[in-house]
Structure 1
Amino acid sequence: MGSLDGDAATSPSFSSTGSSGDGDGNGGGGGGVGRVGIYACFAHGGSNSLECYEPGANTWRRVGELPGVPDGHVLKGFAVVALGEHVYVIGGRLCRRERDAGGEDRDTDVGMRADVLRYDARRGAWERCAPLLVPRFDFACAPCGGRICVAGGQCSLSGARGTAAAEVYDADKGRWSPLPDMSTLRYKCVGVTWHGRFHVVGGFAESTSSPAAVDEATPARATVLLPQSSALERSSAEVFDCSRGVWEIIPGMWQLDVPPNQIVAVAGRLFSSGDCLNSWKGHVEVYDGELNIWSIMDHSALPDMSLLATLPPSAQRRYHTMAVVDTQLYFLAGYQVAAGGDGSFRTVSLVHSFDTSATPGLMPPWRSFQPTMDQDGVEDGSKELFSQCCSVQLSS
């Protein structure tokens, strides 16, 4: 593992109170959050950068560009996951970005990456880790039992076909090891660890369990397994039991033909807020494992999160991602607003939080914050979210 040049600014302690949307003078994290950073990757024009929102100080800062991504290129379809005090940026597909005559960015696929980068949130330094065994993008990823599990995704830039391959990273040994293949080929699937098991939920999935018809004219009458896609596979989940080393299927765990956007675990429960077509569906949903159904969380209904803040009616949401801090769901959201009368616009970054443990009538479950941006945080209309976010807790 080698060090990489990058932004060496360390995460500051959370001593500032910041400001809150409800005017109570507390920071975005509320009480007891401690030293927490929520990290996500964005694209600013032709470059990727890692950014961090700090709930305790209600500040947003740009950590720096992702090492190893050439100028004029952007990385897509990669995973961002936290393990200990580190943020890992895993895999993805590299695209060359060019601006056309109309001022629009056009991306052309260049290749897939097996690269794994690690950002030390305490030291503010980048390192390069052992690469994936299987280069992939749009895959499921989650920490599980002190290791990082990945599964599914696409392994080719041509054609829409997923993979069943899975692997696990041991940070102590600094290496990836293969896991048994899933029974389905999946991509655009979501990974989450729940009850100690790695769940790969939804996605565009194909089963390999149905034999193809045998051609009578073929002398060698070998049975061939062909992928078969149906709503049954796309609405299912595959679960890896680390103690037993086997995959299990949960039919109907997602219940929708459209892949999920994010699923997170909070205090033994699973929460979701949308799918890959609509990252915010107007409410938070909670999963009942016994009944295998998703239901709307009480007091979570909110048609538009921008209603929590003072934004012009013309504001449009550009991005939306969710992270967990304690019992809170933090939603990092960016809104496009007009910057003047010349048709230009800028991005306003806001943070909304939903308390999954709030008692109705005693405290409002929703709060909203406008973070203080650092000097490098001036945002224009080109800002795009290219990863989901993760939270890192730094020990004292």
Structure 2
Amino acid sequence: MLEVRRALPEPVVGFVRRRREPVVTQTLRSTAAATISYVVALYAVDSTAPPLTAPLTALLVVQVTLYSTLTTGVRRVNSVVVGVLIAIGFSVLVGLSWWSLGLIILASLVVGHFVRVDEFVPEVAISAMLVLGVTQVADTAWDRVLETLIGAVVGLLFNVVFVPPVWVETAGDSIEDLARRMRRLLLLIGEELTRPTHVERAAARLHEARRLDNDVADVDAALRQAEDSLRLNPRVKEGLLHRIVLRTGLDTLEICAVVLRVLARTITDLAKERRDEALFTHEVGVALQELLGHVADTLVSFAVLVTTTTSGSADAAEARLTGELAAARTSRDNAADLLLQGMQEVPRHWQLYGALLTEIDRILDELDLDHRSRRLMEELDRHTREQRARRPKLSALLDRARNRRQRRSAAH
């Protein structure tokens, strides 16, 4: 096996190593579904032309999660079917020429908006052009409709039989990576506090803090994919709880990223005010560096707790986070005392010192376990209320069934 791996090209080896990534899994699944639909259409459709509409539809229908397949599959199938029907009309009336191609594109885009296929309007025109290009006979065009249905059915069945993976682990890795990037930035800021800091270096840290917004957006996309993979997935239990834990965890880190940007802004303003002198005395700088180091470790411990799935690991992560929070608060009190002494000696920057402590307090409050527990309960209650509002009859039926089970248990 080792010799086979060595014989493979490096891009292929890398592709195999990344087989758990969503893009790799989606590529393999789409290829398999399209191939199967083509084989089925070869036997089911009596046509001289290759049944390319079937694999085209399968490619459009098969999504990276079962939820997205079921929610967008219908609109995708509608877009392809509408395009095929438009092509049938044009194949009977005018055939293919430069002006009929322009008309079919215009008609497809207009009709696509009327049939409400939403973001798949361009696929109406694509399907129409493909069909018009391979057929000029109405009977053959109807075969394209059958091929479309075959591709849609194969695509849907493929995701039902071969349920897509759950992308919670991928989203968890993204959340932890975000926390580690924030940790590195805090450590760099802390190092600047123990030596003379030029405004340019402080501004560079501010720009790094601003770039965290892009990182948060990337993690949010990975988390949305993970949330979709948990919905309607028969292999997942307590999917709602998993979604809420990850989502509230990312929301907390996003708030911390915003506060971190404000903290970097405060340091930059202080560097502007004290261009020819150190930002803090050596003793205060060391205390603040230690404080930011504890805050940085607390961010990573929080991310590990949020992304931990087993109860044993969660207990260890919670204990570690509790210890980090306690150490950070002790360090914060020490730094506050030293800042107060320095402020009495040099009071002209007291507002920046106060802002610095306030921003650190906000991060620690967001990472506090009690604050997180309240946030989780609020989100669970909100989801429960929304579900009851959407399906009042089903909720009432479930409540009656639950009450009957409780009465039976009490009777026994």
Please confirm whether the aligned pair reaches a TM-score higher than 0.5, indicating the same fold.
no
- Larger-gyration structure (1/2): 2
TM-score by length of 1: 0.25
Give the number of the structure whose residues are more often strand, by fraction: 1
